[in-house]
Amino acid sequence: MYKKEKMKDKSKQVWYLYANNIQELKRQCYDIISTLYVQLGQSPEAEIIVQMTNVFTNDLANDYGSMELEEVRFALNKYIRNNDGPHFVNVPMWSQALRDYKKTKALKRQTNQIEEYEIYKKRISSFKNAIDKREIKKIGNANNN
């Protein structure tokens, strides 16, 4: 029997955000670029981050539109941690990171292996469920009575 796949939430994909909410896409891309600079220990000027964000947003929309932004974050984070540097936040770095990720994802899909991003999402979901189910107990009150 065939498994029914859950429908992907397309509202999280880059192309959807680019078409319907470009300001939110730019804001999240700015956050991704800023985080990359922090992870690499670099501190560029604000104008550079804004320009890199614009280039990054256009690259994502044109070349990686089917990816979700969390998946983009995951791919870049994985690339920085698994490859020896030096790393710089620029077009060749993120293009290589996203290309490598997509190749690995396609290969795993061809061989019916679970993708790393899917494992990551399941792990985050299980953590969230475990935390949500915890009982919160009040200890005293604000008046110390």
Give the three-class secondary structure for 52: helix
The structural domains of the chain, with segments of one domain joined by +, span 10-131
More confident: 84 or 127: 84
Question: Residue 7 pLDDT > 60, yes or no?
Answer: no
CB 29 within 8 A of CB 57: yes
Q: What is the mean pLDDT of residues 1-17?
A: 68
The values of phi and psi at residue 13, to 5°, are -80, 150
8 A C-beta contact, residue 95 and residue 59:
yes
d(CA 59, CA 140): 53
Question: Residue 139 pLDDT > 70, yes or no?
Answer: no
Whether the upstream peptide bond of residue 86 has omega within 30° of 0, thus cis, is yes
**21-77 pLDDT, tens digit each:** 999 999 999 999 999 999 888 889 999 999 999 999 999 999 988 898 999 999 999
